[in-house]
Each structure stands twice: as C-alpha cells, then as structure tokens.
Structure 1
C-alpha cells in the first residue's frame, strides 16, 4: 500500500501476489505499525473476490464505504492465511499521507512508560506509533504541522533527526531492528487489551501500540505459561518465530470450544474438501 499525498477515500486494486499476501497475512505495509492510531488491516478491506474450495467465484463487500449488509466476509478474509480460499481481487481504503511527522525519545523505565501511556491515552494527541525497549521509549507524532508541533511541546522528550526516526520505524516494520535478530530462542508476540499494565516477560522484550503489542524472546517451553498469562489478561500469544530445528508447536493460542466450532463451520462452508492450507492456523481446521 503506497501512501499518497492526496486524500483518497477508496481505491480498487487488481490483486497481485503482493497485495493479496499482505491482506491475508494482515501485513499491509505501514498500516501495521500505525494500527494503534488507524485501525487493523481488516478495517481497510472494503471488498474482495474469493475463489472458494468448490471452484466458485464469490464477491463480498464492494468498493465504497458502508457497503455491507449482513456478515462482513471481506474483513473475515484479512488474516485468514488463505485457509478459506484464494483472494482474486481486493478493494482497499487508503489514507492521506501525514503532512508532518516527528519522533520523540524518552529515557524511561517500563513502569514509567506505561504510566505515560495511560496519561496520554486521555489526551487529544496525534500519536501514530510507540515503541519501548531497554529503557528507551520512542513516540511518533503524525498529522498537521501545528498539531505535531504543539504535541511535541506538551510531551517534551528529545526530538530525533528525521533520517534516524525513519530508519527506526522502518526497522520495526520490517523486523530488521537489533531486537529481532535471529536467536536460539522463540520469538513470541503477545496481543493484550489497551490499558493492560506491565506483565512479567522473560528476558529482553519490546512493547508497541501503547502496550497492546508486546514481543519477547523465550525458550519454547515457556510458551504455555505465556499464553496463559495473555489469556488471563484478555489477550493471546502467538509463536511468531520458532527457534532453528524446532517444529510442532502451535503457532496460535488454542481456540475455545465455541470458537473452534465456528472456525470449523466456516471452513466447511468455504472449503468443504480441505483443499486450502488445511492445518495452517489450527490442526483441527
């Protein structure tokens, strides 16, 4: 998704492999890092055409806003990892490129950073991204020039040079930052509700989205305990990257019985023969 300097409410894409893979895996470029401010990838999907397991071409949604009556299948396809069918076309909403951006640097402990998150959440600030790790918090402001400048004066901190800020956020987006360097442990991603306080995570960890997304490196044997911790706070934990030579662990938090029934019913409806990525998300689906 290319950020445009113009305001475009909707734009139709003939899905090539890049766009299709981004939607089904929930990547969608820079939107992923801006999710705390602009919403998830599914919020950008207006419509889709799907080739299902019976060979039928199905159309869902459309090319304009407020176009869905009933079950919103087009958004269901975002993050489905190709388990329900082949995405043939996708209609996406795009956003205007922010007129100004600035990144602020703060030296804070994790507890202090979470205190700031709670305080800032109640203020009208143009925050588009945040990241804390190893005692340093980076906060990105995006929007009109006067709003960004006023927020910078209110928040304080040290302003990063534009090139350094761009490189930092690109490193997070592409997982090229030093934190994501391949190690012998498992990379685990915890998704927690906004406002969840600090939780005990093993080793070095990274906190994004004002605390709603947290990354840590841990031995695979710690995964069940971390999943239980996430579920206890109303979230879930994903095995994002397994260590070399390790296979067989569930990637996603196991579903509850009611949710598993829904997943199975959807799979049977769209792909009754199990032709598409069976077991890709859950062994039972």
Structure 2
C-alpha cells in the first residue's frame, strides 16, 4: 500500500474555506454519497490521504489514514491473521475507512462485537476552522477524549474532516460458515435467545421465512455449534452482501427504511430482521408514517437508508432539547457550518 500524508494540504483547504465562508463537500471513495441529505459545496477529496500510520499486531490496534480503502487495510491485517473488530460496510473496492466512520453503519456482527464507534480508540481531524486536532489514543489504556472521538462516527463529516483513526482489531476466525433454517419469526427469535452467549454466532438475519445464522471461531467450536443449530448449509456470501447493502432486498425500487427496536418487536411484511432482531430494514414507498408509528410504538428509532427525496431528510423528527445539544456541538466544531453543509440537517 502506498503511503501519503496530505494532512497539511487538507487543513489548508479547510482553513481557506472557513476564511471565505464557503462550504465544502468531503469526498473519499464516493461510495456513500447517496446516504443522508445532499450536501452543498465544492468537493474536497481525501482519497489521496492513504497509508498505515502505525500497526503493532501485538497491541491489536492499527492507526490508518482516512482515505485508505477498507479492502487494502484488510489485506494487510490478514497477513497477521487479524481483522477489524466489527463488520465495516463497504459498497465497492474504493470504499474508505474515513467514509465508513463518517456514516457509522455497522454490519451483521453488531450484537456480538459491538458498534463501529466502539472500535474507535482515537481520531485526528481537521476542524471547521482548519485546525488539526487529536482526540483519544492509540492503545486501549489511553482513553482521554474517547467520547469526542466517537462523536465523529456517524456525524456524516459535519463535525470534522477525518484524517486518521486508531481502530481496535481482533483475531481472524479459523473457520466461518452459514446455516439456514426455515422457521417463523417467533420460533427464530426463541432459538436466538437460547443460543445467545452459548454459541459462536456472529450474525443472525431473518428474511423470507428463513433464519440465516453465521458461525465463526475455532474449528471444533463451530462444529459443535453446527450440530446444535442444525439447518442446511447456507451461502457464505449472504452476510457479506448484508454488510455491504447488496442483493435483491436492497434493490432501489422502494425507499429502504432502517429501524432500531427491541428484538421481540413483531415481524412486519416487507421487513428484513437483522442484528438478531434489533435492526429492521423495511421497504416502503410513499408516506413514511407507518415506519415512524412502528418505531414510536416500540420506542425505537427510524431513518431512511436508501431512496426517497433526499431534500426531505432521512430521519424522524428529533426532540428540541436533543437538537439544541447537537447544535451546540456543531457550533463548537464547525462554527461557520462549512463541512458537508446540509448532509445531516438543512442548517448544518
């Protein structure tokens, strides 16, 4: 992998935009530009800011520049039989670490390995004034500013331009396989509850009357789990497609809504159940009222993941107090609202 540190040039570009009061759109691989609102501003590419800053396999931590393609990083980690600690979605080979962190989505491993923000130990960013700032650390015991670092995850680039990130790693599983079981949702949910914490499950998704279960770990433990789970051998690519938002369910014909609800919430037609029950993907065109009503009934959250009129925004209304707090954070990090203006909210 080539190594190129463009931090100073990127900071200078942001500083010039701040002085002029002109917005900029932060672009990495460009594979996630359809998520969130349509931002305004001149594109500023971080794709050339690539490379490994620091990697000690014994510490299970890597510090990587934001423009680095996820695939290139995983190739390097694989040489040490290591991997990122969570499923990091990518839409094609050009998807970058910075883009993944900015959007903040986590793949099917979420209930078992934690969220993407949980794997972030520290970041280096360019603030909206063009200042280079560092939050967090590069080792597990150094957690100063850890919460600030995690704020960058899922902020859609509106709080800072990500330069580098220190990420937690894990050992790569010896073996991995998928089991498919034909069940109704109540039976599938009951089975997942029985297996929770007892079996090496790293993914569980229910769609079209079939429960897909991913087992991963040491060979003997996976073999023992296979006998308990039963079912038929499934396709290994199923969970890769789920992670990367590919496959028939993600066809662009309808709006695709993402809901976070309790795992015991009932199944709805045209719904895919992921994260062992807590994430629901719902295909629905037109009025989003049923989605928001379902989320409110189960005290959950809802957002449009794909499709729809991007100018209307993908999120359900936010409580005024929460919005005010978020606005204060935005003002502190990007006082002239030049970073990805409009990507999250119209005034941002």
Q: Pairwise mapping of residues 77-116 of structure 1 onto structure 2 (< 5 A)?
A: 77-116=152-191
Q: Which residue of 2 aligns with 1:199?
A: 266
Q: Which residue of 2 aligns with 1:151?
A: 225
Q: Which residue of 2 aligns with 1:15?
A: 66
2:328, 2:258 → 1: CA distance? 27
Q: Which residue of 2 aligns with 1:257?
A: 320
Residues 94-117 of structure 1 show CA distances to partners (whole Å, capped at 9, x for unaligned) of: 211111112111001122212222
Rate the CA distance shift 1:218–1:7 in 2: closer, same or farther, 3 A. farther
Q: Pairwise mapping of residues 1-285 of structure 1 onto structure 2 (< 5 A)?
A: 9-16=60-67, 18-27=96-105, 32-69=107-144, 72-121=147-196, 123-160=197-234, 165-183=235-253, 185-193=254-262, 196-199=263-266, 201=268, 203-221=269-287, 223-243=288-308, 246-285=309-348
The two structures have a TM-score, normalised by structure 1, of 0.86
How far apart are 1:56 and its partner, in Å?
1.0
How far apart are 1:74 and its partner, in Å?
0.8
How far apart are 1:14 and its partner, in Å?
2.4
How far apart are 1:200 and its partner, in Å?
5.2
Residues 230-284 of structure 1 show CA distances to partners (whole Å, capped at 9, x for unaligned) of: 13323211111124xx343321222212211110000010011111123311235
2:237, 2:256 → 1: CA distance? 22
Contact 1:47 1:61 in 2 (8 A): yes
CA RMSD of aligned residues (A): 2.2
Q: Report which stretch shifted further, 248-257 or 95-104.
A: 248-257
The two structures have a TM-score, normalised by structure 2, of 0.71
How far apart are 1:70 and its partner, in Å?
5.2
SS at the partner of 1:73? helix
SS at the partner of 1:88? strand
Contact 1:171 1:177 in 2 (8 A): yes
Where does structure 2 lack aligned partners over 5 or more consecutive residues? 1-51, 69-95
How far apart are 1:166 and its partner, in Å?
2.1
1:7, 1:230 → 2: CA distance? 43
1:125, 1:21 → 2: CA distance? 33
1:23, 1:76 → 2: CA distance? 10
1:234, 1:54 → 2: CA distance? 38
Q: Which residue of 1 aligns with 2:32?
A: none
Contact 2:258 2:282 in 1 (8 A): yes
Residues 163-191 of structure 1 show CA distances to partners (whole Å, capped at 9, x for unaligned) of: xx2222222222221111221x2111111
Contact 1:111 1:198 in 2 (8 A): no
How far apart are 1:82 and its partner, in Å?
0.3
1:210, 1:189 → 2: CA distance? 14
2:306, 2:67 → 1: CA distance? 26
SS at the partner of 1:46? strand
Where does structure 1 lack aligned partners over 5 or more consecutive residues? none
